[in-house]
Amino acid sequence: MIVDCHTHIDCKTAEQLATQDSIDKYIVLACAGDPAEKVNSELSEYVKQNADKMIGFGFVDPTVKDFKLKYVNTIAKKLGLKGLVVYCSDCDFHPCHSKAMNLYEAAEKAQLPVFFHNSGNLCAEASLQYARPFLIDEIARTFKGLKIIIGNMGVPFVDQTLALIAKQPNVYADLTIREERIWQLYTTVLSAYEAGVMDKLLFGSGYPHGEPGMCIEALLGFNKRLGDSNLPAVPRDELKKIVERDTLAILGVE
């Protein structure tokens, strides 16, 4: 099974994503928006219409509302969403804010994974200090049953991400691929291979910023671009494992 763990939708891209043939399942992340109830309701309707391929993760900003277990259960049971996504940088809060810790406790009890969308294409107003992956270490240590995904490999703090996924068994990294950034892809994957954490990488396209099929081709084919450079390669079998990894089983998502 091929799972794209990082996609977004809007009115222009929703139908295009649903017709993609290269991916078996998509995790669709709600974008940060106000009010969250509207954002999550719209996402819920979309994934229900495409239930054979789509799984939704609802947006929460714990600093706006105290998300106790009852509310988290509502997201899961009423809306049918299978996980949560937080935007610490965009929403300007420390990942270990006291209200955020209440959210993670509720998510752990409800068995909902949490996706930290703290980096990537940050706007000028975003708080880069809250994008640092090492801040998530306290969360992983406190809530050992909570499945955590670090979005975009924690760019620009990739080394922190690699250290954290090596250290914490319940933390994984989303290898969102930018096919035009082949050197960044190469150095990230090679570093993960040398660190022995290839099994903690999950395939993501970042759709609509990346087309899933093209992202897969970029990952599987980047060794060929090395040519006669004598740069170290990553075994293709290891690259295929990233693409074919059963992300849903790892995250406990049905």
What's the pLDDT at 56?
97
168 Cβ contact list (under 8 Å, min separation 6): 137, 140, 141, 148
Residue closest to 191 by CA, chosen among 245, 155, 148: 155
pTM: 0.94
Which tokens go with 110?
A: 């409800």
* 96 vs 100: CA distance, rounded Å: 6
Query: Given CA atoms 152, 200, 74, 254 in this order, what sign does their dihedral have?
Result: positive
pLDDT (mean) for 81-107: 95
* 103 vs 97: CA distance, rounded Å: 10
Domain that holds residue 96: 3-251
Residue closest to 23 by CA, chosen among 211, 172, 209: 211
pLDDT (mean) for 188-195: 96
Least confidently predicted of 38-42, 68-72, 172-176, 217-221: 68-72
Digit-coded pLDDT (tens) for 7-24: 998 756 666 776 667 899
pLDDT (mean) for 115-143: 91
The CATH number linked to 205 is 3.20.20.140
Residue 252 scores a pLDDT above 80:
yes
Residue 67 scores a pLDDT above 80:
no
pLDDT (mean) for 198-218: 94
Buried b (16+ CB within 10 A) or exposed e, 133-152: bebbbebbeebeebbbbbbb
Number of domains in the chain: 1
Residue closest to 176 by CA, chosen among 122, 215, 139, 233: 215
Residue 74 scores a pLDDT above 90:
no
Residue 209 scores a pLDDT above 80:
yes
What's the pLDDT at 70?
81
- Cβ 174 vs Cβ 152: under 8 Å: yes
